[in-house]
Amino acid sequence: CKVLNGWPRCIRVPSCRDLRCPKATACRVVQGWPRCVRMTRDVPTCATARCPRATTCQLVGGWPTCVPTKASCDAVRCPDGTTCRVVEEWPRCV
């Protein structure tokens, strides 16, 4: 929301989804606004991206983005008589 003429108003913030860029350019958010910028040879990829722990790299809008890793039961050891299930997006022994 922003205050316009003394009143709070909700405004939609533009994103790269709203912008069509010419060939050999790509959309990047620069100072909070989407802009078409020339692509260089050094276009980042997931192969070169370094994501923090508990995230993985995925291409979002053509650009590598670190996104949270979905929780799973892969590394959970449950006590005897229980099994792991993902409940409300978190692994739990039930």
pLDDT tens for 18-75 read 889 998 888 988 877 899 988 776 667 888 778 888 888 988 877 888 888 877 888 7
Flag whether pLDDT at 84 surpasses 70: yes
pTM passes above 0.75: no
Number of domains in the chain: 2
Residues 79 and 49 in one domain: yes
- Name the more confident of 91 and 48: 91
d(CA 45, CA 49): 6
Identify whether residues 73 and 60 lie together within a single domain: yes
Considering the domain architecture, whether residues 56 and 32 belong to the same structural domain is answered as: no
Asked if 35 and 27 touch (Cβ cutoff 8 Å), the reply is yes
Assess whether 68 and 90 both reside in one domain. Answer: yes
One domain, residues 33 and 65: no
Q: What is the CA radius of gyration of the chain?
A: 21
**What's the rounded mean pLDDT across residues 73-92?**
87
59 and 15 in a common domain: no
Q: Confidence band (pLDDT; 50, 70, 90) for 6?
A: confident
Q: Cβ atoms within 10 A of the Cβ of 10, count?
A: 6
| Host domain of residue 3 | 1-40
On whether the CB atoms of residues 24 and 38 are closer than 8 A, the answer is yes
